[in-house]
Amino acid sequence: MAEQQKNEILLIESQYFPPISFYKTLIEGEKVRFERMEHYQKVSFRNRCYIAGPNGMILLSVPLVKGKNQRTVIKDVRISNLEPWQQLHWKTLTSAYRRSPWFEYFEPELEMLYEKEFEYLLDWNMACFEFANRALGFAPHVEMTDTFEKDYNNDTTILDLRDKMVPGQVPENPVEYTQVFGERTGFLPNLSILDLLFCEGKRGLELLK
C-alpha cells in the first residue's frame, strides 16, 4: 500500500506559495502535475496565500487583469502590474518575518524574486514553487497538463485534488511548529509554506514528512 502511494501523481492547480497541506500531500508521492488548462476559479490559492502577522492571518493577493470574475484558461491569466503589488507583498513579508530565525537566510534570493516582473500568474506561481522547493531541499517530479480532463476516475495513479484545498480549510493533523507571533495569536495552522520556511528553515522538510 505504501508503494502504491509513492507512485501517485498529485494533480492540482498552481498556487501562490502554497499552504503547508499542499506540501505535506506532495511529499508522500514526490510527483505533481499542475493543471494549466482549467478555467480560473476565484476564492482559491491560485492567486492568494496567507502568512502570520501580530494580529493573526494576513492575506497576500496577486491582482489580476479583468479582476476575479474572469473565465480565462489559467495559463492565459495575466497579472495586473499597474499597482506595485510585489513591493507591497515584500514589505509585508519583511515586517512580519524579520524576527524569524530563517528570514535573513532566504531573504536575498526571495527579494530578487519579488523584484522580477511577471506577466502571467502561472509563471509567477511556478517561480514561487521552485523557490520553495530549493529552500526546503526538495526536488519533486513536475509535469503540466496539455488538455483538460473533468475527472480521472479510471486512472488510479492520479490523486486529483483540484479545488480540494481551499482557503479557510483546516486539515487533520496539521504540521505544528513555533511561529513568530504564536504566543500572541496561538498557533495558526496551514499557512503558506513561507511561514514554515522562515520559522524552521531546512528542518521544515523533516516536519512535513
- pLDDT exceeds cutoff 70 at 3: no
Taking the complete model, does pTM exceed 0.85, yes or no? yes
Residues 98 and 154: their CA atoms lie apart, in Å, by 48
Cβ(31)–Cβ(181) under 8 Å? no
pLDDT tens digits, residue range 103-152? 999 999 999 999 999 999 999 999 999 999 999 999 999 999 999 998 88
Confidence (pLDDT) at 68: 58
Name the grid cell of 203. Answer: 528542518
pLDDT tens digit sequence for 177-208: 999 999 999 999 999 999 999 999 999 999 99
Q: Let me know: does 22 contact 165? Beta carbons within 8 Å.
A: yes
Contact in structure between 44 and 168 (CB atoms under 8 Å): no
